[in-house]
Amino acid sequence: MVKVAIFDFDGTLANTLPDLKITINLTREHYGLAPVTEADVLRHVNNHIPRYIELMLPELQDAEKWKEAEQTYYAIYDHNYLNETVPYDGIPEMLQKLKADGIKLAVMSNKNHEHVARMVEALFPSVFDSVWGTIPEVPAKPNPARAHLIAEEFGVQMNEIAFVGDSDVDMITAVNAKAVPVGVSWGYRPADCLKENGAMYTPVDAADLYNTIKSI
């Protein structure tokens, strides 16, 4: 029986692509570079931010410039992270049902910790019991270290955790952690990609996700 559900954020709980595109294009503009498309953002969005910046601004070709661009990106995102970002249909209601059922809820994202904490509280106030983005002390996904810390926080075994995400990175993380991999098919990667990387379930909407978690 599932006692804890760990959720990815981007592409799982909320559609963040429009604001990610705005932010990366403003960052590219800062360096005199041409804009990219939403498809370009989608291709690289699941990467840890330093790698994402390298992939989205390959023209810089310099570690110091990429590090500087990362800070520029964060500063721009501070003003744009909730312009167009919204929860997917039915997600807020589904989370409330899981919470009412006594299931502990956590977010584990490769997004900057400060941003994901603010976004979760803005979109899902007082719903999650634990929220984590990336911090220097803990490796980012697909490393399972944070998932193990969440399990320890709630005093559960890994097989009592549903790890819910929308990407190959999430499913690899779930497999590495020995949690139950649940790949949502409405996000940034197709169901086939999720299954190829270990997804045991691929729910098609929020109601299906609720029933899936309750059935495990």
State how far Cα 198 lies from the chain centre. Answer: 17
Determine the Cα–Cα distance for residues 173 and 200; give it in Å rounded to an integer.
13
Place of tokens 């929020």: 206
Which pLDDT score is estimated for 150?
98
The domains of the chain are located at 4-15+86-215, 17-77
> What per-residue confidence (pLDDT) applies to 170?
97
- Fold that domain 4-15+86-215 belongs to in CATH: Rossmann fold (3.40.50)
Mean predicted lDDT score pLDDT of the chain = 96
According to DSSP, the β-strands at 14-15 and 130-134 are unpaired
pLDDT of 47: 83
pLDDT tens-digit readout, 7-40: 999 999 999 999 999 999 999 999 999 999 999 9
Q: How far are the Cα atoms of 45, 97, 133, 167 from residue 141, in angstroms, in the given order?
A: 13, 27, 10, 11
pLDDT (mean) for 52-81:
96
Question: What pTM value is reported for the model?
Answer: 0.94
